[in-house]
Structure 1
Amino acid sequence: MTERQKEILFAIIEEYAEMAAPVGSVTLAKLFNVSSATIRSEMARLETLGLLSSPHTSAGRIPTDAGYRFYVNSLTERDVMREVSANRLLGPGEKAPNRNIHALEVRIHSQERTDYAIRSAVDMLAELTGNLGLATIGEQLYLSGISKLFAQPEFLDNSKIQDVAQLLDNLEPWLREARPGEPLNIFIGQENPIGKASGVSLIISKFRSPYSDSSYIGLLGPTRQNYAETMSLVRHAGLILENTL
């Protein structure tokens, strides 16, 4: 893949996350200052690579799960989730790296009880992203923002809602048994070990709490989302909880 193809792929992913509509060559031609024909050629190549698809009703392209995975891996490699920086920024007397993370930190610190702190963090994640927030509290799975999630255009089809509901039914037992070990775990679309047909991405952060050394907090949302923001928020939520509880 050429550097320009990579930039076009990333631009399509970010534009699609914001607009929820297939991205056409005219939009990208203006952005990259090249002809629409050049963009169409590059998009065709990306489609051949399995990173884009073309909906039947549109001339534009949307990302595939493989396209999102390439994008997320690039984010992870580029930033390494800024783990060292995150721990430093969350030290005593220092400010969180952006306004949303600072708001998350304030919300968590305002709670005296462990379960309230975790619930507050989940509520805040749902408010900030419009996705479904979730966390393990002992043996229970706390959820927040279901109505926000199902208000997104991907879930106008009732069958998709049913797929997500089935995923949620199996999520807590799966977390307890599989115990994902990475500080940040990202499952995109078909990668989801439970609910492959649901068309959602699951982003979860592992953290230590008084309940367990393997507690989890995260977000469940459509594959179309701002991954840089959601990954950062989820990872910082785990770090803040681990450093606070």
Structure 2
Amino acid sequence: MLTKRQSNILKLIVERYIKEAKPIGSKIISKTLKCSSATVRNEMAALENAGLLEKTHTSSGRVPSEAGYRYYVDKLMELKEMNAEDMLKLQIVFRNQQLALSDVITKSLQVISDITNYTTVVLGSTSHENLLKQIEVVPIDENSMIVIIVTDKGHVEHKNIKLQDVSLEEIKKTVNLINNLIAGTPIDEVSAKLEYEIKPIIGKYVKQHEQLYNAFYHVFNDFTNQEVNVVGRHKILEQPEFSTNIEKIKNIYNKLEDKEVLRNIEEDDENNIKVYIGAESNIDDDVTVIKTRFKTPTEEGTIAIIGPKRMEYDQVVSMLEYMKENIER
């Protein structure tokens, strides 16, 4: 258990290091706390012995260890209220009645990525958990229509497609064929079933079968791929701790390209905000992932912010809480 002074020193070091990205010396802390440098040095040595601070090779100052960040997040962090300008940017997105919920989430994560300069991720309900209930089509004009995909969990997805010189009757035949033969299939298996079960027989029933098959195949393929959406993938690599380490940059970028790695972010079903620091992130020892789950009557999933271990935890947690509250409203 830390003393009050040790807690204050650790909090100051973590928060200054987050902002400055350079080791923090005793003089800066002693001026802030109005006590002698010798006293601060002794306390910093005690924090280092406790595994909460680390020395660097290039400076006499200290930086937080992984355990130090964890102690800060669990016991010392005070959430920062979002400023009015950032709230307004998000509210413009949340109040846009023209946007589907999935677009609202993606656009609000873009706003957060721009504000924080971190990478953001949304993971939809895993497609193997959603079964195809039915598809419907709504013609817009002679050459375009909306395809509506409905799952057994009540998730509804809309896709616009364009078809050249295909009659509505041919389209309806294709829809009936898919609904009769593939309804009840997990969404992530529908594309394969279209290829192996629908493609060989569709020509017997539908004249423009090739164009229709390709259109519906791409609709389902896009739906499955939408499950993981990364915004601002490059932003985490612009952080100073990664700028000179080419191997680390490659490793992190490859992890952010790997959908299986990203899907691991949503492994647990807890609704509260979770913070994974360093090795806990399963991405890199110098990376933090902060995430929460959301659930609405029609959609559920996980939103996450990925940044350096030297992340502004108080700001990010507040933003995720605000975003979750508005998504579920």
Q: TM-score, normalised by structure 1?
A: 0.83
User: 8 Å contact 2:51–2:67 — kept in the other structure?
Assistant: yes
Structure 2 equivalent of residue 205 of structure 1: 292
Instruction: Report the CA distance between 1:23 and its aligned residue.
Output: 0.3
User: 8 Å contact 2:11–2:76 — kept in the other structure?
Assistant: no
Larger of the two Rg values belongs to structure: 2
Letter in 2 for 1:133: T
- Is 1:131 the equivalent of 2:118? yes
| Whole-angstrom CA distance in 2 between matches of 1:137 and 1:8 | 41
User: 8 Å contact 1:216–1:238 — kept in the other structure?
Assistant: no
Distance change (3 Å), C-alpha of 1:32 and 1:164 = same
User: 8 Å contact 1:16–1:62 — kept in the other structure?
Assistant: yes
- Is 1:173 the equivalent of 2:268? no
SS of the equivalent of 1:112 reads coil
Letter in 1 for 2:280: E
| Whole-angstrom CA distance in 2 between matches of 1:13 and 1:135 | 28
1:53-74 per-position Cα deviation (integer Å, ceiling 9, x unaligned): 0001110000011111111112
Q: How does 1:111-122 map to 2 (within 5 A)?
A: 111-122=98-109
Total equivalences in the alignment? 224
Structure 2 equivalent of residue 22 of structure 1: 23
RMSD over aligned Cα, in angstroms?
Answer: 2.2
Structure 2 equivalent of residue 108 of structure 1: 94
- Is 1:188 the equivalent of 2:296? no
Distance change (3 Å), C-alpha of 1:210 and 1:158 = farther
| Whole-angstrom CA distance in 1 between matches of 2:31 and 2:234 | 37
Structure 2 equivalent of residue 141 of structure 1: 228
1:128-148 per-position Cα deviation (integer Å, ceiling 9, x unaligned): 111101112455211112232
User: 8 Å contact 2:291–2:303 — kept in the other structure?
Assistant: yes
1:141-185 per-position Cα deviation (integer Å, ceiling 9, x unaligned): 111122322111111212222332343213333145x23413211
Distance change (3 Å), C-alpha of 1:174 and 1:70 = same
Structure 2 equivalent of residue 87 of structure 1: none
| Whole-angstrom CA distance in 2 between matches of 1:64 and 1:53 | 6
Structure 2 equivalent of residue 151 of structure 1: 238
User: 8 Å contact 1:108–1:120 — kept in the other structure?
Assistant: no
Which segments of 5 or more consecutive residues in structure 1 lack a partner in the other structure? Answer: 83-95
Q: Quick one: percent identity of the two aligned structures?
A: 30
